[in-house]
Structures are given as structure tokens and as C-alpha cells.
Amino acid sequence: MADDLDSRLRPATPAEWPAFRQHMAAALGMTPTGPYQDTPPPVAELDRSLGLWDGDRIVATSGIYSRSLTVPGGVVPCAGVTWVSVAPTHRRRGVLTSIMRRQLTELHEQQREPVAALWASEFPIYGRFGYAPATARAELTGRTERLHLRPDVDLGSGRVDVVEEDAYRPAAAALHESVRRSVPGNLARDDRWWDRLMRDEPEDRHGATARRYLLHTETDGTVTGYASYRVTPRWAETGEPDATLTVEEVRATSTAAYASLWQVLLSIDLVRTVRVLRASPDDPLRHLVTDGRALTGVPLDALWVRLVDVDRALAARRYPAPIDLVIEVRDEFCPWNAGRWRLAGHPAGGYCGRTDLDPDLVLGVEELSAAYLGGTSLAALQGAGRVTEVSPGAVTLAATAFGWPVTPWCPDEF
């Protein structure tokens, strides 16, 4: 059955895009809106798509975006898995398994991206294919009467201005390219991705204003921060203003610039509630305000990661503490990863290659993928019975070496 399915999986053509998109929306219980109903969007790579046809009907879809992912100490090519859908009439037939295996096998055989990543619609689905949540995000919410910057926060000598999109975009794009390289989990954005990010269709605002923009500029004219937001106006039954400020993105190259942007955001008239979308669980804002309990938000899984080729992926990142261990990896879905690997790493680089030596650690590729960006501790996974320590102290050494000072975070859904 699986072999037959695989033979019927093929990329979609531009002419098939309308049906391809319509199936995706229907399978996910959505109605397609916005542009690109009849033609693929600029970010689409149809040559990397897969569709399953049953007669003249599309019953399953998937795709890959060619992305660049920041990892601890470096940047690696990443296959951004997307468009995954299976019609309810074709579930539990091995369709999704065939799609996942085809994607990963082609990535390995073609020596393309050593890492794949996705956003999971449901938690239990992708672990069986070796994916694991490697970053977290939280929607932070707070009331403005409790959100005040600490009096000792240095706002520097720069200034914050409200700007139009044509001034905001090039400045934000340049700054993002700089800051994203220091945060594991961040993704590069070329013009196509900025086009997608900046789209602001009226039907998607749900009662909010059009997107608004801020830039923080130093006295010499250098842009050191940017923010985007929108306001949803509301009036309470008492007649008092009760608007909500939805903050979409705030990035800066200095604490002063970051704090200055937030000082303005927290001072917008008529706003009583602040929402920060897809924030890092360790957002510095928590440490800039006087009331550390004023911002609430439950961390949830965000970007899921899968090591396509263990050796290439582990050699591509850096390790803040020296490590020289033999790791036995279990990977039934991608058998080329299974076996023993010697990992030797340090702050300047890493090496990973096959070995016949006895293992110091034994774990599955799912666990290794979870720890890859430095946000999930191998010691915590050992506590859950998902990592086996063979050599005493190996988990402590590996957990330290796989960690990273900057919490991994991915604000870009795809």
C-alpha cells in the first residue's frame, strides 16, 4: 500500500494550484481568503510540493520552503515543511507516513537541508516521524495599569517615531537580518517573506486598525529597533475606553532601544490591554517592568525540528562547553541515522562521524531533535525516561554542551 501511495505522489503544477489550495483549506476546515487563489504565492516552491491524486481529485498535499535557520553559533539550510493535509476520506491509510518518508528520504539522498522543521497543528502527529518541539512561544497579556518600566531602565539618547510602511520595511529588514543570527530558531526573511509578512488585508484585521509601525533611531541616524502593532478599539459599558493593543513584533539591537519602543507602546491612548503575539517565553519585557506578574501567558510548543542527517546537523552548530561523547541514535523512520556517532564539539565548531566505540548515551532522534536548538535539556528528557545514560556523567556533560545562553525562539509561522 505504501509503495503504491509513493508512486502516486508527485509535485503539483501551477495550473493545479487552485485545486491544490482548495483541498488544503477544506481539509483544515478553512475557507481560502486573500490573494493567490488562482496563482501560487511568491514563496511557493511547487517543485518541492507533493500531491496525491485519486482520479481527478487531490486528496493529500504537502510542501517545502527553502529556509535558513539560526542554530547555536551558526546558520543552517532548513526544509520548512508546510501545506500538510489529508482528506478525511483517505486518513489511516498510510498517506501521511508516505509523504513524510518521501520528503525526508529525498532530502537525505539529494544531500539538501540537514534539518527539517514545521509548525504542528496537533501535538501527537509528528513525533512518530522524528520531529520534536524545539522552541516555545507564549501570547503574553497584561493590563496597562500594571505595566510600567522600572525607574532604573536606561532609555538612552535615541528617539522613537511613528513611520509609514515604506520607511519601516527596509530599516526593519536590515535590522532583522542582524539580530536573527544570534537567536536559535529564527528564520531568514528575503523579500518574498517580507512581502508575506507585511500583507495587511482588511478582512484579516477582525476589527483592528491597519498595522502601524515604529522605528527607534540613534542620534547619528542609525536605526536600532523596530516595532509593529495594531489597536482594536473598544468601549466598556461604563463608557470608559477599553482598547486592546496587539503587538506583532519588537526587535532591537540594544536594551535602550528595546525599552524605548516599549515605553511608547505602553503609552498609546485608550489602550487598557496589551497582547504580545508569539513572544519568546524569555522576552526581556518581563524583566523591564516593575510588576513581574503583570504579563501572563502559557508557553506552548512552536517550531518543531527534525534532524535529517545527524552528522551534518550536529556538525553545523556550536557547543558552549567542550563535548566528546559517543551517542547511539535510534531512528526507525530514517535508518541512515541509526547507530553510533562520535560527537566532538566546542565553542568554535563541531565534528560528528560514525564510530564503533561503545556509547555514552542512547536516545532517539526525536529527543536529539528536541535538544538541537538548546531549548530542551537532555537531563529533563532523561528524567522522563527518554535518554539512557551509559557512561556516568554523560547526560550532565551533554546537557551542558547542547545548551545555549539565548533561548531559542521562532516568531515566523509558515
Q: For the segment 77-103, what is each residue's pLDDT rounded down to a tens digit?
A: 999 999 999 999 998 889 999 999 999
Is the per-residue pLDDT at 111 higher than 90?
yes
Going by C-beta distance under 8 Å and a sequence separation of 6 or more, which residues neighbour residue 269? 241
pLDDT at 91: 87
Q: For the segment 264-323, what is each residue's pLDDT rounded down to a tens digit?
A: 999 999 999 999 999 998 999 999 999 999 999 999 999 999 999 999 999 999 999 999
pLDDT at 168: 98
Average pLDDT, the chain: 96
Among 280, 285, 282, residue whose Cα is nearest residue 138: 280
Going by C-beta distance under 8 Å and a sequence separation of 6 or more, which residues neighbour residue 254? 156, 224, 225
Q: For the segment 373-405, what is each residue's pLDDT rounded down to a tens digit?
A: 999 999 999 999 999 999 999 999 999 999 999
Spatial distance between the Cα atoms of 198 and 215, rounded to a whole number of angstroms? 15
Give the pTM: 0.95
Q: Which three cell numbers stand for residue 8?
A: 502516486
177 is in an annotated binding site: no
Distances (CA, A) of 16 to 12, 46, 53, 61: 6, 10, 11, 12
3.60.15.30, 1.20.1250.20, 3.90.78.10, 3.30.1050.10: which CATH number matches 309-402? Answer: 3.30.1050.10
84 is in an annotated binding site: yes
Spatial distance between the Cα atoms of 399 and 414, rounded to a whole number of angstroms? 29
Q: How confident is the model at residue 228 (pLDDT cuts 50, 70, 90)?
A: very high
CB atoms within 10 A of CB 397: 19
Is the per-residue pLDDT at 235 higher than 70?
yes
Q: How confident is the model at residue 360 (pLDDT cuts 50, 70, 90)?
A: very high
pLDDT at 255: 97
pLDDT at 31: 86
Class of domain 138-300: alpha beta
Share of the chain above pLDDT 70, in %: 99
Mean pLDDT over residues 194-204, rounded?
A: 94
Q: Which three cell numbers stand for residue 49?
A: 510540493
Q: Which of the residue ranges 27-31, 80-84, 191-195, 325-329 would you say has the lowest mean pLDDT?
A: 27-31
Mean pLDDT over residues 326-350, rounded?
A: 97
Residue 358 phi, psi dihedral angles, 5° rounding? -65, 145
378 is in an annotated binding site: no
Q: For the segment 23-80, what is each residue's pLDDT rounded down to a tens digit?
A: 999 988 888 888 899 999 999 999 999 999 988 899 999 999 999 999 999 999 999 9
319 given a catalytic annotation: no
Stretch(es) of the chain classified as CATH 3.40.630.30: 2-113, 138-300
From the candidates 168, 213, 226, 414, give the one annotated as an active-site residue.
Answer: 414
Is the per-residue pLDDT at 2 higher than 60?
no
391 is in an annotated binding site: no
Share of the chain above pLDDT 90, in %: 93
Q: Which three cell numbers stand for residue 206?
A: 477582525
From the candidates 20, 65, 126, 402, give the one annotated as an active-site residue.
Answer: 126
Does residue 186 sit in helix, strand or coil? coil
Stretch(es) of the chain classified as CATH 3.30.1050.10: 309-402
Q: Which three cell numbers stand for residue 46?
A: 511547487
Spatial distance between the Cα atoms of 23 and 57, rounded to a whole number of angstroms? 9
CATH dotted code for 2-113 = 3.40.630.30
326 is in an annotated binding site: no
377 is in an annotated binding site: no
Q: For the segment 114-166, what is each residue's pLDDT rounded down to a tens digit?
A: 999 999 999 999 999 999 999 999 999 999 999 999 999 999 999 999 999 99
414 given a catalytic annotation: yes
Is the per-residue pLDDT at 1 higher than 60?
no
Spatial distance between the Cα atoms of 32 and 28, rounded to a whole number of angstroms? 10
pLDDT at 325: 98
pLDDT at 32: 82
Is the per-residue pLDDT at 3 higher than 60?
no
51 is in an annotated binding site: no
Residue 229 phi, psi dihedral angles, 5° rounding? -160, 170
